[in-house]
Amino acid sequence: MPNPSRNPTRSYHLRRSPPVVAIIGATGAVGNELLGVLERRRFPLAVLRAYASPRSAGSVLPFCGRDLTVEALSADSFDGVDLALFSAGSKTAREYAPIAVRNGAVAIDNSSAFRMDPVVPLVVPEINQAEIEGHNGIIANPNCAAIIALLPLWPIHRRNPIRRVVIATYQAASGAGAAAMTELREATLAFLEDRPYPPRVLPHPYAFNLFSHDTPIDPAIGYNDEETKVISETRKIFGAPDLRIGVTCIRVPVLRAHAMALTVECEQPITPEEACGFLSDMPGVRLIDDRERNHFPMPSDATGQDAVLVGRIRRDLSDPSGRSLAVFAAGDQLLKGAALNAVQIAERLLP
């Protein structure tokens, strides 16, 4: 359960509002969405600065009808910055987030660099926003598959604690970045035109194909990094260190929304109707469960949506105890799975 105040001596708010905001990794898939989400949600801004690697410096990004010129990231970039939104990978986050914090900023990091650090809050605001209060300058944004799984699990878990979850994911290209999205489009066009297309970004042919998630595998247990993130981050966010989770992460030829099949076992019996009631009340979740029209969560409906779509809620027929349900979910990997969740955290930091 959330620890409301790890650091009661320091205000958790940004030091001023409207804040000076920096996006680190502004030219990436998540960076681009961060710009869109800040604009759409009218996030209060004194100044917005966009940083990226030297290779991308000088690019111009549209923001609120104006041009934002991307600068090369350096140790000096955080002077006067109040809020630093990192979407630039673990290495950059490890190097620069502490610099941002030393400059008085709060850093919200999309990478996995700090997620499992016990003093860093790992936050999905609809679930554990109270954790934000204990931050020491860095707040971690969870793994995209974890966020999309947890939003439908939480309203069940808090009424009828979940003992076990088995998850099979259907993950989009966007999780591997903008270059992987381009590769999916190009590889597919090449396939349709009967041209060869050697994979560049992902390790396997992607046109009309799917494959086990392309993160390294722990040889001792056979789980890949994406799967171990889903397990450990779920336990941290739920404050449930013993929650039993089995997960298979698969990359599918979809552009930017993850889907997943969840089999959930609760402590007490639960009916699909009860679960639908719990899910209907959950902020950030939209129930799409139309059996007659065969309409359930799909990436095409989830793309561009803030809400995680949830449906196909039914008894798990493999558990005669009546304690297990099957659920299917889909959520925009770049929005709730990344940029939107980060901005929602930032909104809670405004004084």
Nearest partner of 312 among 268, 260, 269, 242, judged by Cα: 260
178 near a second copy, rule: CB under 8 A: no
Residue reference for tokens 């989830």: 302
DSSP H helix total and E strand total for the chain: 9, 15
314 near a second copy, rule: CB under 8 A: yes
261 near a second copy, rule: CB under 8 A: yes
Q: Which is nearer to a second copy, 132 or 254 (CB)?
A: 254
332 near a second copy, rule: CB under 8 A: no
Q: Which one of 135, 157, 213, 258 is the catalytic residue? A: 258
The residue from 13, 158, 159, 185 that contacts a second copy (CB under 8 A) is: 185
318 near a second copy, rule: CB under 8 A: yes
Count residues near a second copy (CB under 8 A): 60
The secondary structure of residue 342, as a DSSP letter, is H
Asked whether the beta carbons of 249 and 226 are under 8 A apart, the reply is yes
> Is-catalytic flag, 64?
no
> Is-catalytic flag, 258?
yes
* Site stretch for a second copy (CB under 8 A), options 41-49, 82-90, 294-302, 336-344: 294-302
Residue 165 bridge partners (DSSP): 245, 264
Q: Which one of 144, 157, 213, 266 is the catalytic residue? A: 144
Phi, psi torsion values for 101, nearest 5 degrees: -65, -40
The secondary structure of residue 143, as a DSSP letter, is P
210 near a second copy, rule: CB under 8 A: yes
Read off the tokens for 346. Answer: 């930032």
294 near a second copy, rule: CB under 8 A: yes
168 near a second copy, rule: CB under 8 A: yes
* Site stretch for a second copy (CB under 8 A), options 29-37, 62-70, 150-158, 308-316: 308-316
State the virtual CA torsion across 144, 149, 153, 154 in degrees, nearest 10.
0
The residue from 57, 212, 235, 305 that contacts a second copy (CB under 8 A) is: 212
Min. distance of Cβ 187 from a second copy in angstroms? 11
Read off the tokens for 249. Answer: 């992460």
Q: How far apart are CA 153 and CA 235, in angstroms?
A: 12
**Helix, strand, coil distribution of the chain in percent, nearest 5:** 35, 25, 40
Asked whether the beta carbons of 223 and 143 are under 8 A apart, the reply is no
278 near a second copy, rule: CB under 8 A: no
Nearest partner of 345 among 35, 132, 43, 47, judged by Cα: 132
Catalytic residues: 144, 258
Q: Which residues bind a second copy (CB under 8 A)?
A: 164-166, 168, 170, 184-185, 188-189, 192, 203-205, 208-212, 214, 216-217, 219, 221-224, 231, 244-248, 250, 252-255, 259, 261, 263, 272, 291-292, 294, 296, 298-300, 312-320, 324, 326, 328
